[in-house]
Amino acid sequence: MSTIDPVILPLISAEQRKQARSVGLTFVVLGIVAAFVLGNRPGDAGFKLVDSYIFVIPAQPFARILALVLIALGAAQLLKGFGKWTNVVLSISAATFVISFLAWAASGGSFSFTGMLQDTVTRSVPIILGAIAGILCERSGIINIAIEGQLLGSAFAGAVAGSLLGPWIGIVAAMAMGVGLSSILAVFSIRYRVDQVIVGFAINFFALGLTSFLAARVLTDHPDYNILSPLRPIALPLLSNIPVIGVVLFTQTLFVYFAYLAVAVATWSLYHTKWGLRTRAIGEYPKAAGTLGVDVIKLRYRNVLLAGAVAGVGGAWWPIGMVGRFDQNITNGRGFIALAAVIFGRWNPVGALSAALVFGLAEAIQLKMSNLDTGIPSEFLLMAPYLVTLVVVAGFVGRSRGPKAAGQPYDAQ
Amino acid sequence: MKIVATLRRLADRIARTSSLRITLLAILSAMVVGAFIIILSDIDKLKNGDILGAVHTVGSAYWALVVGSFGSLRAISATINSATPLILCGVSVAVAFKAGLFNIGATGQMLAGGMAALWVGFSMDGPVIIQVPLAVLAGAVGGAAYGAIPGVLKARTGAHEVITTIMLNNMAGFLVLWLLKTNMFQRTDRTDPISKLVAAPGRLPRLFGFMDNRPDLVAHAGFIVAILAVIVYWWFLNRSTSGFEFRAFGMNADAAQYAGMHTKRLTVMAMMFAGAFAGLAGAAEVLGTYGYASQNFAGNIGFDAIAIALLGRSTPLGTLLAALLFGALQAGGRQMQVDTDVPIDLIVVLRALIVMFIAAPLLIKSIWRIKVSPTSLGQTFKGWGS
């Protein structure tokens, strides 16, 4: 009797199998929510795409069809799986689910869908740039918990310098402040070999304390130090004429274009240049890189300072790209959301961009929801993005593996 | 001669206990930098060339800091009151650190514990001797339950506690806001999110309640709970088997697993303990300081607690002392804001600087040109897992 199993099992680990199962269950749960929650409000929902055209979705039938599709997808995933298409199927389903949710919320009325997407992109800017700053540091082996502090400090510098000397100087000052705070992180963690998480937290407190202190002591008595007119959106020629997409992506402030550029450049450089190879090497296995002649210390300094400059632009977004002034703790935890986006996006700029857009969408939905009467307490809507992150991190990202050397001081021997 | 010799021996001994010296020098360094910040931010005086006036402000601000924290019975009571939740949350972060976990979620756990304690506090009408301990216990249980969530998620799926606790903090904030608007919690006759009052007998008794006509002495029995928590933490860490397992797990998770310890259970347990301590802090605030809950009764305490645990190197005594220092700064900072025009936010800067300087003994060494053995705070964070 042969005990050899004739069926060749696919080579997947227990962890992957568990993950596939949780994806399938997610589909089913989403389907049930679509059927019972989103399917209970009759009426058409108008999604205003352009001024002259409103796309109408009948909320109830849409939700019911979606529910059937989602449950079918869930069953397929549980039985067979979509293999490499899993993420694509999941993203499309999630997007459809969000649309169904919006249709449910807006049923019987209409709202500007394009405006919401535009808000999404605008509001994800500081998260994207903060996450890029985090990735630059962590890929080179320095944990950057200080993103929040860098954003806050540079928002302050941007507001004051921008008010006194104009927005461009404001952005430069914000970048300088970002680099300054980054240099504390760099010197303490590289030269003095201090625990990077401790320095990072200390920088956060330092920035919070100092900016609140100066805002209370200086800015309240001198309101002229804290008022500027934010940059206006620039419509890119040709591209901005595309319906919907033109408004969403190409009628934005320079900050948004800078964020696109930062993601593109970071992705390309990390994976296609000598610098990128070296950066990834010193984040994973600095000893080997050092042996092969890479100056680990110097490269780490450079990358951490560069990250500070990028975070500086992200911080300048508040005063110069958005509200035109600085308020105490204006970043309100966005730096930590950026940190979550880094891990969510698995230390990859494009991944972080998608995570940041999810958070941006959540913020934009919150803004819109305050105008729509949904019957559910607003607190639960406000909670949703955090819950989604929790579920996604627990269910799909799981044991995320960061750069191996992150957090370890380097000895040049 | 003998006295001189004794003094010299004492001085010698202080010099050798380098961690104490570093701590004192770090505080001094932070005060010096703080002084510069006070002077440089006084732009109106500096513009008029009144440098002496700006320097004078530093003196009166720091004097107010001392008077406001230890200068009178009232100040000491304020220090104790501020230190109470800081001690408990500090222990919460410290116990997680010992097990190699980073609990950023003390804020959320504090909110959960505070709401649980509050509910028992205003809905029960039992004998004081039962009700108050029960309410405090409810705080611990609420906090532990909320703390268990990131623990279970980490143990089962590997989701990193740094992310999950941040998310749970934000969610707890909104949950509390919602709860405070429900009929169960909202004070009748109010439309803003504010809870019912805990009746006077259901509150934690005031420490100086025996003194007549001193309602300004706000310190309450939560401080005793906090001290007990520190003792329990010490006992747990050094005298119990689980405490040993915690430390082993925190130092080397692989080795602990190899030695047959249930690392998943340890993860959940560590986060539950952490949550329980933070929940006690919430109970102390709600039952002691306020007597009700408003939207943001946890404030920044959960984050301050991280600095405290780092400063105290996560040891029981160190955490207690660090929390007392932070509490004193808090109480003194309020006085400073009243007496001088220096905003209380200065103390956040001072705290950050103290942590930074203590974390970098080599820096202190080169600034003050002293010889100390470079004791570091040790590694608190073991990377993002693999």
Beta carbons of B163 and A393 less than 8 Å apart: yes
B57 within a domain of the structure (yes/no): no
Please tell me the predicted confidence (pLDDT) of residue A259.
Answer: 96
B154 within a domain of the structure (yes/no): yes
pLDDT category at B348 given cuts 50, 70, 90 is very high
Residue B335: its H or E element: helix B316-339
Separation of alpha carbons B134 and B125, rounded Å: 12
Show the domains of chain A with their CATH numbers: 14-112 (no CATH), 122-397 (1.10.3470)
* Nearest chain B Cα distance for residue A303, angstroms: 19
Cβ-nearest to A195 among B166, B352, B377: B377
CA distances from B298 to A134, A383, B225, B287 (A): 28, 18, 18, 13
Average pLDDT of span B231-248: 90
B65 within a domain of the structure (yes/no): no
Could you read off the pLDDT of B156-172 as tens digits, one per residue? 888 888 788 988 998 99
- Residues of chain B numbered 170-189 and touching chain A (CB < 8 Å): 170-171, 174-175, 177-178, 181
B246 within a domain of the structure (yes/no): yes
Question: Is B242 in contact with B95 (CB distance < 8 Å)?
Answer: no
A201: nearest CA in chain B? B307
Please tell me the predicted confidence (pLDDT) of residue A374.
Answer: 67
Separation of alpha carbons B264 and B148, rounded Å: 12
B78 within a domain of the structure (yes/no): no
Chain B partners of A212 at a C-beta cutoff of 8 Å? 343, 345, 348
Please tell me the predicted confidence (pLDDT) of residue A392.
Answer: 74
Could you read off the pLDDT of B273-290 as tens digits, one per residue? 999 999 999 999 999 999
Question: Is A114 in contact with A166 (CB distance < 8 Å)?
Answer: no
* Nearest chain B Cα distance for residue A379, angstroms: 5
* Nearest chain A Cα distance for residue B334, angstroms: 13
Separation of alpha carbons A318 and A230, rounded Å: 9
| Mean of pLDDT over chain B | 87
Residue B53 has pLDDT above 90, yes or no: no
Average pLDDT of span B45-49: 84
Question: Is B86 in contact with B306 (CB distance < 8 Å)?
Answer: no
Question: Is the overall model pTM greater than 0.80, yes or no?
Answer: yes
Domain count of the fold of chain B: 1
Please tell me the predicted confidence (pLDDT) of residue B386.
Answer: 40
Beta carbons of B356 and A216 less than 8 Å apart: no
B179: nearest CA in chain A? A379
Tokens 């809950």 correspond to B293
Beta carbons of A400 and B376 less than 8 Å apart: no
Chain A partners of B342 at a C-beta cutoff of 8 Å? 217
Assign A374 to helix, strand or coil.
coil
Residue B155 has pLDDT above 80, yes or no: yes
Could you read off the pLDDT of B245-267 as tens digits, one per residue? 888 888 888 888 888 888 899 99
Please tell me the predicted confidence (pLDDT) of residue A370.
Answer: 67
According to DSSP, residue A49 is labeled E
Beta carbons of A217 and B341 less than 8 Å apart: yes
* Nearest chain A Cα distance for residue B136, angstroms: 27
Residue B88 has pLDDT above 90, yes or no: yes
- CB atoms closer than 10 angstroms to residue B219: 23
* Residue B296 lies in domain: 84-322
- Higher-confidence residue: A87 or B100? B100
**Is residue A193 within 8 angstroms of chain B, CB to CB?**
yes
User: Among B187, B222, B373, which residue's Cα sits nearest to residue B294?
Assistant: B187
B93 within a domain of the structure (yes/no): yes
**Is residue B70 within 8 angstroms of chain A, CB to CB?**
no
φ/ψ of residue A54, rounded to 5: -115, 120
- CB atoms closer than 10 angstroms to residue A185: 27
Please spell the DSSP secondary structure of B122-182, one letter per residue: HH----HHHHHHHHHHHHHHHHHHHHHHHHHHHHHH---HHHHHHHHHHHHHHHHHHHTTS
Average pLDDT of span B219-243: 93
Please tell me the predicted confidence (pLDDT) of residue A396.
Answer: 66
User: Among A219, A231, A232, which residue's Cα sits nearest to residue A327?
Assistant: A219
Separation of alpha carbons A57 and A59, rounded Å: 6
Q: Which residues of chain A have pLDDT under 50?
A: 1-2, 8
Chain B partners of A343 at a C-beta cutoff of 8 Å? 160, 162-163, 384
Cβ-nearest to B345 among A196, A213, A399: A213
According to DSSP, residue A84 is labeled G
Q: Could you tell me which residues are beta bridge partners of residue A47?
A: A55, A111
pLDDT category at B381 given cuts 50, 70, 90 is low
Could you read off the pLDDT of B351-373 as tens digits, one per residue? 899 888 888 877 887 888 776 65
B345 within a domain of the structure (yes/no): no
ipTM: 0.84
Chain B partners of A23 at a C-beta cutoff of 8 Å? none
B311 within a domain of the structure (yes/no): yes
